[in-house]
Amino acid sequence: MNAAQIVMPALGPALPELILAVGVLVLILYGSFKGERSVEGVNVGALLLIVLALFVVVSQTGAKITTLNGSFISDGFSRVMKALVLIGSGATILLSRDYFQRERIDRFEFPILILLCTIGMMVMVSANDLIALYLGLELTSLASYVIAAFHRDNLKSTEAGLKYFVLGALSSGMLLYGSSLVYGFTGTVSFPGIVSALHQSAGFGIVLGIVFVAAGVAFKMSAVPFHMWTPDVYEGSPTPVTAFFASAPKMAAVAMTVRVFIGAFPDVTAIWQQIIVFISIASMTLGSFAAIGQTSIKRLMAYSSIGNIGYALIGLAAASEEGIRGVVIYMIIYLAMTLGAFAILLALRRGSEMFETVDDLSGLSRTHPVMAFCLAAMMFSLAGIPPLAGFFAKFYVFAAAIKADLVALAVIGVVTSVVGAYYYLRIVKVMYFDEPKAPYEAMAPGLRIVLGLSSVVVILFWLLPAPLVGAAGIAAKSLF
């Protein structure tokens, strides 16, 4: 084999990943040469890289393109989900600045780890074979374990990191075991190859493989019954890191799940549909009942995220184009609601003291009327009350489920969202009808930006739903 035979793979579709990867290497060098003084520069640089990558992702067009020996796919779905991942990561960097400075853990490695994590998530979203999927997942997970323990002198943070690491390693093992079974029974790791191998026959081994793969991805999405780590990790991690875990990696994990089940197993829907339906019902139920007794807002958001994953999976269970469109819309709106809620949680501080319980919100409407109004909008939206965005998110997935003859699933979804409304509305009640406490400090500029943007999406979605719904429609179409 001589040099002329080696064909350079087309790198254009992977340009956003390449920008981030090259940029992060430059930032690492800059950070390690400049030391402590580089924090500001690295943060700004990371934010610029994310904006640049987001710009490239949005400007990419065209139908399905695969490159890098068929293991990387760029289509409408990957572009929308990558944009969501990038928005989540960028918002995390904005949210983290003030918090880390005050906690005196302001180190330049944080934005770098966020960037590396983002690359991993984008690889997951664009994976077109099992190896790329696994490598992306590991890149994301390893960076996540480190940032969960980023506040290393804090016992809870290190505990969160260790817990996440041990359980995450277990789930990666399950995913790998499932992947190896799928590979063994189809003879290929590439998704199109698996599809054509399953046209001929689907043996019992495939069922076993799909079950293990489902367990692995369910862990990453924190869906019941693989959710046990979520409340502890969310509570222990530094709050901006919790905001990150609840936003960007969720987008990537859901995208990965859709990609695996719709991309690799479209003809054996009967096998995995029952798994997804079960996971979805269990997540919705646990998410709404277990959150009722929580006093810590971070734990409450953890259970809320478990429940929300359940709702998003209703769309996947429908296994139709409309269902996937519902999933994408749900994730867009969920991202806005989560980031907004965490921006407010991060604003609850006086001096170096952070406040994290529901009681600390009491009387917020009188001390901080704007903040209370935004949080009330987020909570009404999470409860699914029209005309806020959360209502439409649920509407699209329920409609898809009913069209796919999953009426029981939709009914359970409606019932659990009524139960869930209780604890969302409790927060509104505490803010508006309880005795006020001492006012908190003014919000940092990064928090204001994130809160403003997410409030606009949540409150005004009903005025102009077309762009987001249209983007989700294109994304769903590219998968079928």
Partner 1 sequence: MSAAAAFFYLFSGLAVASGFMVIASRNPVASVLFLILAFVNAAGLFVLMGAEFLAMILVVVYVGAVAVLFLFVVMMLDVDFAELRQGFQRYLPVGGLIGVIFLIELVLVVGSWAIDPGLVQAPLGNAARGEAATNTQALGRVLYTDYVYFFQLAGLILLVAMIGAIVLTLRDRPGVKRQNISVQNARTQGMAIETIKVPSRQGVEV
| Residues making contact with partner 1 (CB under 8 A) | 1, 6, 9, 21, 28, 68-69, 71-72, 107, 109, 112-113, 116, 119-120, 123, 131-132, 135-136, 138-139, 142-143, 145-146, 149-150, 152, 161, 181, 184-185, 187, 203-205, 208
Which is nearer to partner 1, 213 or 406 (by Cβ)? 213
Q: Tokens 């179409």, residue?
A: 477
Residues in the chain: 480
Nearest 10 degrees: Cα torsion 401, 403, 406, 410? 50
**Which helix (H) or strand (E) covers residue 473, if one does?**
helix 466-477
What is the 3-state composition of the chain as percent helix, strand, coil, each rounded to the nearest 5? 80, 5, 20
Q: How far is the CB of 264 from partner 1 (least distance, A)?
A: 18
Q: How far is the CB of 38 from partner 1 (least distance, A)?
A: 14
Beta-strand (E) ranges in 5-75?
A: 65-67, 72-74
Please count the other Cβ atoms lying within 10 Å of the Cβ belonging to residue 466.
Answer: 9
Which is nearer to partner 1, 54 or 132 (by Cβ)? 132
Nearest 10 degrees: Cα torsion 54, 60, 66, 72? 0
Q: How far is the CB of 47 from partner 1 (least distance, A)?
A: 19
Q: Are strands 65-67 and 72-74 parallel, antiparallel or unpaired?
A: antiparallel
Q: How far is the CB of 94 from partner 1 (least distance, A)?
A: 21
Which is nearer to partner 1, 181 or 479 (by Cβ)? 181
**What is the DSSP annotation of 454-468?**
HHHHHHHTTTS-HHH
Which is nearer to partner 1, 120 or 384 (by Cβ)? 120
Q: How far is the CB of 235 from partner 1 (least distance, A)?
A: 19
Q: How far is the CB of 356 from partner 1 (least distance, A)?
A: 24
How far apart are alpha carbons 325 and 344 in whole angstroms?
29
Which is nearer to partner 1, 36 or 353 (by Cβ)? 36
Which is nearer to partner 1, 136 or 446 (by Cβ)? 136
Which is nearer to partner 1, 146 or 383 (by Cβ)? 146
Q: How far is the CB of 368 from partner 1 (least distance, A)?
A: 34
Q: How far is the CB of 266 from partner 1 (least distance, A)?
A: 22
Q: Is the peptide bond before 387 cis (omega within 30 degrees of 0)?
A: yes
How far apart are alpha carbons 197 and 16 in whole angstroms?
32
Which is nearer to partner 1, 181 or 317 (by Cβ)? 181
How far apart are alpha carbons 274 and 265 in whole angstroms?
14
Which is nearer to partner 1, 144 or 417 (by Cβ)? 144
How far apart are alpha carbons 243 and 228 in whole angstroms?
18
Going by C-beta distance under 8 Å and a sequence separation of 6 or more, which residues neighbour residue 172?
134, 137, 138, 141, 216
How far apart are alpha carbons 361 and 354 in whole angstroms?
12
- Residue 174: which of 204, 213, 131 has the closest Cα? 213
- Residue 301: which of 359, 251, 345 has the closest Cα? 345
Q: How far is the CB of 149 from partner 1 (least distance, A)?
A: 6
Q: How far is the CB of 241 from partner 1 (least distance, A)?
A: 13
Which segments of 187-268 does DSSP mark as H helices, in order? 191-200, 204-221, 229-236, 239-246, 248-258
First to last CA, the chain: 39
Which is nearer to partner 1, 154 or 296 (by Cβ)? 154
Q: Tokens 């907004």, residue?
A: 340
Q: How far is the CB of 143 from partner 1 (least distance, A)?
A: 5
Which is nearer to partner 1, 28 or 354 (by Cβ)? 28
Which segments of 291-354 does DSSP mark as H helices, in order? 297-318, 321-347
